[in-house]
Amino acid sequence: MRDPILVPFQVTARRGATAHKPRQAELPFRQHGGARQGAGRKPKGDRAGVSHRQRSLQATRHPAHVTLKLRPGLPPLRRRAEREVILTAFTRGKDRFGFRLAHFTIQNDHLHLIAEAADRTALRRGLQGLAIRIARALNKLWQRRGKVFADRYHDRALTSPREVRNALAYVLGNGKHHAAAGRMVAAVAQHLDVFSSAPWFDGFREPITVRGIDTREPPLAAARTWLLRIGWRRHGLLSVHDAPRSA
């Protein structure tokens, strides 16, 4: 759209009135707002891992699939000591601020979570609190200081039973997915990945018994949304032998 043409105008004095000098309208000056090259907050690494565009709204009835990535150069998470401190952080932060952690998987350099939240603010506050707990616990274990998670978290709303089922299959089978692609430091030794929420999952076709699981408080909050409790089951239960292809 072209800028409007501003024409100087005159006020002509009427007979018997005091004459006024001609006045020119003020020209608009260029402002500093708007998109321009190099503008915006800079990424924490060499490049931005997650877009900084405004996030979509989070509906109460829709679970969210969230990914938290570690900063480069940190120790792998798929070890027993790291697993224990992460599970403890999950247990303490699983149900806060209207945020509920329903499922998870721990990979060497990232976490996948499936969570419920009352709204976008609840999701953000719950994830921030959870990330802070995990970062402090890992730094204490690793005897270091500094940031643990890189850039922003990534999240995607799951709006249909099919999407929820696919996300559950992906999260619970993510260890086998990475092992098949050759990206796993240690292979998944059994069908049930103990670095995920699979030991607490009740949606497998096969009967599952996990020894010692009753001796600790679950690191998960009970799902409340219809999609995560009932809806996804309409497309069939999962199998412990499945290895997902993609999210």
Average pLDDT over the chain reads: 81
Q: Yes or no: say if 65 and 247 are a contact pair by the CB < 8 Å rule.
A: yes
Amino acid 12: pLDDT: 41
Quote the CA–CA distance of 238 and 203 in Å, as a whole number.
6
Amino acid 54: pLDDT: 47
- The more confident residue out of 132 and 30 is 132
Give, in words, the CATH class of 64-235.
alpha beta
- pLDDT > 90 in the chain, percent: 59
Q: What is the mean pLDDT of residues 148-160?
A: 92
**Best mean pLDDT range from 17-31, 47-61, 96-110:** 96-110
pLDDT digits (tens, 9 = 90+) for 48-70: 454 445 445 567 999 999 999 99
Rounded to 5 degrees, φ, ψ at 110 are: -160, 165
Q: Yes or no: say if 181 and 215 are a contact pair by the CB < 8 Å rule.
A: no
DSSP calls for 141-195: HHT--S--B-S--EEEE--SHHHHHHHHHHHHTHHHHHHHTT--SS---SSS-TT
**Four-CA torsion 131, 132, 134, 135, nearest 10 degrees:** 110
Residues 6+ apart with CB under 8 A from 63: 102, 114, 115, 116, 157, 158, 164, 167, 223, 225, 227, 228
Q: Yes or no: say if 158 and 64 are a contact pair by the CB < 8 Å rule.
A: yes
Q: What is the largest CA-CA distance in the chain?
A: 105
HEC string of 158-172?
A: CCCHHHHHHHHHHHH
Tokens found for residue 247: 């999210």
Rounded to 5 degrees, φ, ψ at 57 are: -70, 150
- The more confident residue out of 214 and 29 is 214
Amino acid 10: pLDDT: 43
Tokens found for residue 166: 């696919």
> H or E element: which one contains 228?
helix 226-229
- Of 114-118, 191-195, 239-243, least confident by mean pLDDT is 239-243
**Best mean pLDDT range from 10-24, 25-39, 155-169:** 155-169
Q: Is the pLDDT of residue 89 over 60?
A: yes
Q: What is the mean pLDDT of residues 81-106?
A: 97
Tell me which residue of 183, 182, 181, 205 sits closest to 192, measured CA to CA.
205
| Band of pLDDT at residue 192, cut at 50, 70 and 90 | confident
| Sequence spans of domains, the chain | 64-235
